[in-house]
Structures are given as C-alpha cells and as structure tokens.
Amino acid sequence: DSEERVLVGVNKFGEKSQGKQNLLRINDSLGKRQERAIKQLRGSRDNKKTQSALSKMQKAAETDKNLMPFILDAVEAYATTGEISNTFREVFGQYRPREIF
C-alpha cells in the first residue's frame, strides 16, 4: 500500500465505506422456468432456419465481414444467446484474460 504503483480500487480511487454487502440471491425456480422457456422456444421455432442462420454467421466470422447483420439474422431466426456465443467460440475460441499481476 505504498502507492508506488497505482491500483485503481485498491490503493487509489477506492470506496471509502467498507460496509457489509448484501448478496444477491436468485430463487432456483427462476432457472427452472428459464430452462422450460428455452425448451419451448426450441420446440416451436423453425430449427432449419435457425441452423442456417448460425451456419452463415459462422462462415462470416471466419472472414473480415461485418458480423452484425448475421447476428441479427440469427436472432430473427430465434437463436439463443448461448447458441450464438457457442458459434463464435467455435471460430474464435474461449476468451481467457491475460494475468498481469
């Protein structure tokens, strides 16, 4: 804590009050409800259209094209955020932040 090296939030620009923090608690039933909603979505959408949109998005991600139109097409085909993210992970890999300390 000699402040030789500035660490924002540690030795500079930190919170003055260190009072007790309340943890956010989420009811387990919300997760179950979301699982049912996603299962229902996947059962009611046109899965061929969704897979086609995800495939086009993946091919575009392998180029230098603007991905936003492809993402919007996937969303309009009712792809979930998980499916979109997994498609990008297949192309770009999992993000791993560098540890600098």
Choice among 15-19, 62-66, 69-73, 82-86 with the minimum mean pLDDT: 15-19
Q: How far apart are CA 1 and CA 81, in angstroms?
A: 42
- Residue 9, burial from CB neighbour count under 10 angstroms (0-12, 13-18, 19+): exposed
Structure tokens at 90: 């297949």
pLDDT tens across 3-47, in order? 578 888 777 877 776 677 788 898 999 999 999 999 999 999 999
User: How high is the pLDDT of residue 14?
Assistant: 76
Q: How far apart are CA 41 and CA 27, in angstroms?
A: 22
User: How high is the pLDDT of residue 99?
Assistant: 82
Cα 26 from chain centroid? 19
